[in-house]
């Protein structure tokens, strides 16, 4: 079976002579979790951002990225918003930086539902509470009205996971999802991701330098 994601010779050049990603070949099967392991600064996050074409201005992307049989590296810019968050979603490393401090939590979970799925404000708000409950946030109706700074680090990361899963993506990119958390909360987030992957049939690219996280989640390691 054709893999869900197949990367051939991927490279990213930020400036002449500065290429943090060079000649990468990877594949992820449907329902598989691939652990991408490397030290800090080795280009892991840049590779993930290149899949969504979220690169710095002027960066050049080389190689081919086949997602569900289509070369998304060759897509025009106007076709990318329909892909980001809808088919491929990402959980970022630092939840406080990923969340908008000026928007209540429920509104941020509801935003992709309204943008991609066309839900009404009321239906999106109701679904946002369901998603918050799904990722293990207690009293989701009350937490939906909270500001990001009112939540703990572990709860903020659960919110970013809820946002990523809102539109039922096929591929979830988790970029160091436990790095900013203490050991107990790390274990809870790993257990949550493992459960959601099983329940939703997600494919996952797990980026980390923590071999313990990889051992608990990944089917293969690159």
pLDDT in tens, 16-28: 888 999 999 999 9
- Dist CA 99 CA 14 (whole Å): 26
What mean pLDDT, rounded, does the chain reach?
Answer: 92
Per-residue pLDDT averaged across 6-24, rounded?
92
Query: Taking 90 as the threshold, does the pLDDT of residue 203 lie above it?
Result: yes
Kindly report the length of the chain: 222
Find out whether 96 and 156 touch, Cβ atoms under 8 Å.
yes
pLDDT for 182 equals: 79
Confidence of residue 119 (pLDDT cuts 50, 70, 90): very high
**Residue from 29, 63, 92, 50 nearest 219 by CA:** 29
Query: Taking 80 as the threshold, does the pLDDT of residue 195 lie above it?
Result: yes
How large a percentage of the chain has pLDDT more than 70?
A: 100
Residue 143 Cα distances to 106, 117, 124, 130, angstroms = 8, 23, 15, 12
Question: For the segment 56-111, what is each residue's pLDDT rounded down to a tens digit?
Answer: 888 999 999 999 999 998 999 899 988 999 999 999 888 888 999 999 999 999 99
Structure tokens at 56: 């710095």
pLDDT for 181 equals: 75
Question: For the segment 32-60, what is each residue's pLDDT rounded down to a tens digit?
Answer: 999 999 888 888 999 999 999 998 888 99
Helix (H) or strand (E) holding 195: helix 183-200
Query: Taking 90 as the threshold, does the pLDDT of residue 189 lie above it?
Result: no
Per-residue pLDDT averaged across 150-154, rounded?
92
**Residue from 18, 152, 171 nearest 88 by CA:** 171
Q: Using alpha carbons only, what angle is made at residue 69 by residues 67 and 73, rounded to the nearest 5 degrees?
A: 50
Long-range pairs for 49-55 at CB < 8 Å and ≥24 separation?
50/10, 50/12, 50/21, 51/5, 51/7, 51/88, 51/173, 51/205, 52/80, 52/83, 52/84, 52/88, 52/90, 52/173, 53/77, 53/80, 54/84, 55/12
Alpha-helical (H) ranges within 41-182 are 44-51, 95-98, 105-117, 121-134, 140-144, 153-165
**203: Cα separation from own chain's centroid:** 11
- Dist CA 173 CA 73 (whole Å): 17
């Amino acid at each position: 079976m054709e893999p869900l994601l197949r990367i051939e010779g991927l490279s990213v050049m930020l400036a002449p002579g500065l290429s943090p990603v060079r000649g990468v070949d990877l594949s992820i099967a449907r329902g598989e979790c691939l652990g991408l392991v490397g030290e800090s600064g080795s280009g892991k996050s840049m590779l993930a951002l290149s899949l969504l074409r979220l690169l710095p201005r002027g960066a050049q992307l080389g190689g081919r990225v086949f997602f569900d049989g289509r070369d998304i590296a060759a897509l025009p810019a106007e076709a990318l918003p329909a892909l980001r968050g809808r088919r491929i979603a990402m959980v970022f490393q630092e939840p406080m930086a990923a969340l908008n401090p000026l928007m209540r939590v429920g509104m941020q979970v509801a935003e992709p539902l309204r943008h991609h799925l066309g839900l009404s404000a009321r239906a999106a708000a109701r679904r946002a509470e369901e998603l918050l409950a799904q990722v293990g946030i207690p009293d989701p109706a009350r937490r939906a009205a909270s500001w990001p700074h009112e939540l703990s680090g572990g709860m903020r990361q659960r919110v970013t996971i809820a946002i990523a899963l809102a539109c039922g993506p096929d591929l979830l990119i988790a970029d160091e999802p436990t790095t900013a958390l203490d050991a107990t909360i790390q274990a809870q987030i790993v257990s949550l991701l493992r459960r959601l992957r099983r329940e939703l049939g997600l494919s996952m690219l797990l980026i980390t330098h923590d071999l313990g996280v990889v051992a608990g989640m990944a089917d293969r390691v690159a």
